[in-house]
Amino acid sequence: MSDRGIIQNFQERRQIEASIRALGDTTTEAELIAMAQDLVERFPPDGLAAAVLRHLGEASSQLRGGLGHLCALLPPEIIVPQLREIVGNRQKLPLERITAQLILERYLGETVSPALVSDLAGNNDIAMQSLQEALEEGRTNRHILLEYVTQMQEHGVDTALMVLDLLDRVAPSDRVELLRLIAQDQRSSVARAALERLAALATFDAAPQALRALYTLSFTLPPVLAEQAQRALRKLQFTGKRYQPPSPEGWRALLSPSDASGHCVIWFVRNASAAEHNDGVLIWVRLVLHLGVFGCSGVENIEGAQLPPQRAIGELIPLEPSEEAHGLLLEAPFDVGRWLLFQTQQTHWKQKNVDELPGEYRLYNDLLWQFAPPVLPEAYQSFFHEERAAISSQPNMDELELAATQLVEHPAMQIWVKWASNVWNMLPPLPASLLPEQARGFINHILHEIEALPQRQQFLEGMTAALKAQALWLAISGDRKAAEQATILARWTQSLPAPQNPLLIQLLRTGLIQQERRRST
């Protein structure tokens, strides 16, 4: 190889090394994934694979997670055999082998034979070292603790209980945040053990932090575990240990409209303080109103200039349109946003196959639930009354048709019209110019197809939940008439057959008109 080639390879290796180390400095999952993707685009896979192997013994949980994301983007035929060789090589450090096993199983979907790692069973020294390093790094970047817990969950209950036993050996004040995260483990035996330890910590110097953790968990855990947290708080009150929620001063909620499928987003914002300037917080949560919490991303320590500008309640925030927020984020009362999140979270736990709450939501939810329970203002409560149209009663179809016609024209309903346009896009091309009776025939055909869908009930439940949340959004914006129209339509959405549903008819009609306009331009 020429001197020039040697120099280029050396420079490339230095660049890769610096970029790999930078993975450990990230503070969010999104940032970690983006950096891994950038590495794959900039450097050859062989060089990256070699760098991964050199860093398997790193102490940083965040860096090890970054290596996993990076390996998931590398060609399997390059990285998988090399990781398997590390796992089975007893000359390698135990941490290197454990990390290689974790990457294979969690990020690459590979199976590792237990025989390859049988000699590592019960090695508490390695586990204690890893725990202490995570706690140390977690003091300045608590995302490290989320990554640590996520990696822990890849192993069995015995491993989780071993970690809890090891936690008993560290300072009480260092245990609380990790216990709070472990208490949100989907495995109830692990979660219960973490809750018991938090309750016991309330008798140590870490009592204020432990009480706060139990209090926030009482809002975010499944009902049975939430009751355990509440019981612990009640018992602690008898001993004089009581949690006092702080004021939510500086916190805001920005609410998007809902789409026809029940999706909406809430941005929770804590304004940067005048003294610090860079202690702002932004937590983005995606809800599927009739199913649960399906996404979250959070950032702490933001400068005030980077946060959405504050507006009066009911005013729109001037942001670029996005697929999630539809360009219509509304300044809403903080407690209204929390109330809607809490209701959706309770729905989450009622699902037949319950998914784990998003990782970053588990990490940042203590910031949202450290305050007094949210109360929905009386002015908005009627939108969420569980009114069922009586079987013997009949809807006022003229009233429903007028409500549908007027509501669909509202800017906040344009995402619903887009849904209807997409329905038309899925059909074969229509004639260039449709007669009114032809249009009605096509609309009626689509509505009968919707009525026959196996998932019809879930679709209409989602639309009903979306209309209720849409009524809330409209009322906060000051359009009480449109809010009442959404409420009326929500009341009958599930009981009316789809071919008789005025809102579905009007949406499809408006979507068809937009399709015809696009074809003519």
φ, ψ (nearest 5 deg) of residue 280: -70, 160
Q: Are 196 and 175 members of one domain?
A: yes
DSSP annotation of 305: G
Q: Are 444 and 327 members of one domain?
A: no
474 lies in a domain? yes
Cβ pair 252, 371 in contact under 8 A: no
Q: Are 405 and 511 members of one domain?
A: yes
383 lies in a domain? no
Q: Are 180 and 116 members of one domain?
A: yes
Cβ pair 261, 288 in contact under 8 A: yes
φ, ψ (nearest 5 deg) of residue 102: -60, -45
pLDDT, tens digit (0-9, with 9 covering 90-100), for 342-389: 999 999 999 888 889 999 999 999 999 999 999 999 999 999 986 554
475 lies in a domain? yes
Could you say which of 184, 211, 238 is where a domain stops? 238
From CA 397, how far away is CA 403, in angstroms rounded? 10
Six-digit token string for 238: 């008898």
Cβ pair 95, 126 in contact under 8 A: yes
Q: Are 230 and 256 members of one domain?
A: no
Cβ pair 184, 310 in contact under 8 A: no
Q: Are 417 and 481 members of one domain?
A: yes
Q: Which of 508, 289, 490 is nearest to 417 (CA)?
A: 508
Total tally of structural domains belonging to the chain:
3
* pLDDT at position 149 over 80: yes
Task: Write down the pLDDT at residue 24.
Answer: 82
Kindly report which listed range (128-132, 194-198, 299-303, 454-458) carries the lowest average pLDDT score: 128-132
Residue carrying structure tokens 């068809």: 512
Give the model's confidence band at 131: pLDDT under 50 very low, under 70 low, under 90 confident, else very high: confident
Q: Are 305 and 211 members of one domain?
A: no
Mean pLDDT of 12-27: 85
Six-digit token string for 181: 């995260």
Q: Are 371 and 394 members of one domain?
A: no
Six-digit token string for 17: 């090394």
From CA 358, how far away is CA 345, in angstroms rounded? 11
Give the range of the structural domain holding residue 8, as residue numbers without chain letter.
3-238
Q: Are 222 and 94 members of one domain?
A: yes
414 lies in a domain? yes
Could you say which of 318, 350, 377 is where a domain stops? 377
Residue carrying structure tokens 């009605």: 440
Mean pLDDT of 162-174: 89
486 lies in a domain? yes
245 lies in a domain? no
82 lies in a domain? yes
Q: Are 88 and 217 members of one domain?
A: yes
From CA 49, how far away is CA 78, in angstroms rounded? 7
* pLDDT at position 172 over 60: yes
pLDDT, tens digit (0-9, with 9 covering 90-100), for 193-220: 999 999 999 877 789 999 999 999 999 9
288 lies in a domain? yes
Six-digit token string for 499: 């071919």
Could you say which of 316, 342, 377 is where a domain stops? 377
CA 143 to chain centre: 15
Q: Are 299 and 217 members of one domain?
A: no
Task: Write down the pLDDT at residue 391.
Answer: 46
Q: Are 344 and 404 members of one domain?
A: no
Task: Write down the pLDDT at residue 209.
Answer: 94
